[in-house]
Chain A
């Protein structure tokens, strides 16, 4: 089999892994070597599905001894199989890297023979890159659940980021769909990586030249929509992972049916993209806006609102906390105003030291006044707070849900989104009609 065929098979079977970021580590170049890394990460292209492509994302092999129901590579699925040799993979990475196609390598693998053997193959490829090729670019490696802790330790010294996929949001779902995997076999390496990373930071503080263990930390991914968990359960799990295992990122992947299986959604089920989008928005609130999961969703509202992003939704449920005084309020409160992001909040705090801010200043700072105006007071402006509820609802409603383009469906086209029909919006309304209905629905709730 030639390299082109291998690349096709092994990229195709890696594409459901969402993470493609190259963030979290700064490393300059060095004489006689190739490569560097930049902490914010660099996107090298965007694929037709709109996702950032930063790394050469491939599997070492897609030959698998396991049989996870939700996975294309499961043993019982009839697909073409291939495996890279470590040498082939190292060459390909360097050649792509020289042409600035990629920021580095994201190496994952199915379980060939057993977790230890698979991990050893991955280590060989990475040792070639870091050794003879003197590659200083970004490497993200997947730790295979069940692999020997010593092997994971070696992998972490070679890679910038490690990840262990949590796969499904509950132990019960794992038992049902991934009989070869146990919750413990996933959490054990995660714990090992978290502890290893923390210890390594202490060592580095003492010995500057100690080898670095996964300096860009670890991430994980879970599939959304294959199993019955609520958004609240998923978000609580996320919060727990951030706190307990100091994860850098949790990724969500809307389930795309890959097989006819009575335990899974039917083959014609559309991936729940809106739900995935809301999870990312809420995840953002946890990481950059000082929100707790319990503030975003609770037992009465265990799932996201289809029409509102979680921050606007929170604001509408807490009108008593507004309006916020732009010239006085603490940073954490500014961050809760719809239309103010972390950048503008910081700029407001700096700028108001020099002079009182009014609407003109806020606009120049980058605040989205269309949304913010209902939630703030500032110099010369006593807030549109308390104005008619429809106006507020139509300023806050998520425009992405209700835009359509002639040549293409909107990000979440109406008929595809079960949440919308659940909220009482009939799929045969036209877009503007549906939007009006949704606005009324929000206004009535206020």
Chain B
């Protein structure tokens, strides 16, 4: 049996770091009060335990996923970890503890209180990433295509494969404003960077301007005025996406 403990785990915020927290919890048979990244404001009430990131431990935990929880589990867990939910670590931990007891069945126990939140996080992350595969806009800066997005969840890893496949011959850069992170794809090689300050994009050429204008014009023209329905548009394309969308950015 696991003991509910008052200790707070601190880790480096990486997925591997989190896996080491899982290792600690399972070997101590304790469920911490919370699991927080180091850069998160300190709690005063509870004692804290620093969990160092050790690749060997992380690898052991990671390989247990597909062995004990079934083939679909690794992806589900990795995606849920990208969630912006403030308690994602603890929710995932409870799910994993249940999973180690129940086996691969755990993923189909959608009505269980320890499973439903993880499925919900996974769904939220994947659907936000899916939205961005469509709502993201590139601007042609000559040397490369550049884009800025403001996602709630850390979706860059889910966008990487999609855009690298789609534009294999282009160079591009996607800047995630929320997490100050960048996905770079240059000369066929992709990498992530964390920035201290926003990137500065070059000026826009006349040709680029012309395509933006044509796109806006197409966007205006394609709508049928007798069917105007702002509420429906709002549901499908919420305001938070629009700030970075060429055709909608200057609409009030």
Contact = CB atoms under 8 A, between A and B. Distances in A.
Nearest to B215: A101
B147 to A, nearest CB: 8
A411 B229 contact: yes
B105 A11 contact: no
B165 A29 contact: yes
Interface in B164-181: 164-170
Interface residues of A, number: 65
Given A33-B169, A50-B229, A362-B111, A42 B219 contact: no
A408 B230 contact: yes
A42 B233 CA distance: 16
A136 to B, nearest CB: 8
Interface in A387-407: 405, 407
Nearest to A28: B165
Contact of A364 (B111, B215, B231): B111
B158 interface: no
A43 to B, nearest CB: 5
A360 B111 contact: yes
A15 B166 contact: no
Contacts of A56: 218
A207 interface: no
B231 A408 contact: yes
A52 B245 CA distance: 15
Given A43-B134, A49-B227, A95-B211, A11 B222 contact: yes
Given A98-B140, A99-B137, A354-B105, A34 B166 contact: yes
A45 B231 contact: no
Given A35-B166, A45-B237, A50-B235, 8 more contacts: A29-B168, A30-B168, A49-B227, A99-B211, A347-B111, A364-B111, A411-B229, A411-B231
A120 to B, nearest CB: 25
Interface in B113-144: 113, 116, 130, 133-140
Nearest to A405: B231
B214 interface: yes
B145 interface: yes
Residue picked from A3, A100, A256, A407, most chain B C-beta under 10 Å:
A100
Given A42-B133, A351-B108, A31 B224 contact: no
A46 B236 contact: yes
Nearest to A344: B110
Given A16-B224, A30-B168, A47 B233 contact: yes
A31 B168 contact: yes
12 contacts: A15-B223, A34-B170, A44-B135, A49-B233, A50-B227, A98-B145, A98-B170, A99-B246, A256-B224, A270-B226, A354-B109, A364-B110
B111 A36 contact: no
B221 A11 contact: yes
A208 to B, nearest CB: 20
B80 to A, nearest CB: 16
A350 B70 CA distance: 15
Interface residues of B, number: 55
Contacts of B235: 50
A186 to B, nearest CB: 24
B239 to A, nearest CB: 12
A357 interface: yes
B112 interface: yes
Contacts of A96: 211, 215, 218
Interface in A1-54: 3-4, 7-8, 11-12, 14-16, 28-36, 38, 40, 42-54
B213 to A, nearest CB: 7
Summarize A's interface: helix, strand, loop or mixed. loop
Contacts of B248: 45
B134 A15 contact: no
A43 B132 CA distance: 9
A198 interface: no
B227 A100 contact: no
Nearest to B188: A31
A216 interface: no
A350 B108 CA distance: 6
Interface string A257-280: 000000000000011010000000
B164 to A, nearest CB: 8
Interface in A295-354: 347, 350-351, 353-354
A55 to B, nearest CB: 10
Interface in B93-118: 102, 105, 108-113, 116
A151 interface: no
A103 interface: yes
B97 to A, nearest CB: 16
Residue picked from A8, A11, A46, most chain B C-beta under 10 Å:
A46
A34 B165 CA distance: 8
A446 B34 CA distance: 53
A185 to B, nearest CB: 27
A58 to B, nearest CB: 8
B217 interface: yes
Contacts of A43: 134, 236
Contacts of A49: 223-225, 227-229, 232-233
Nearest to B145: A98
Given A29-B168, A45-B237, A49-B224, A365 B116 contact: yes
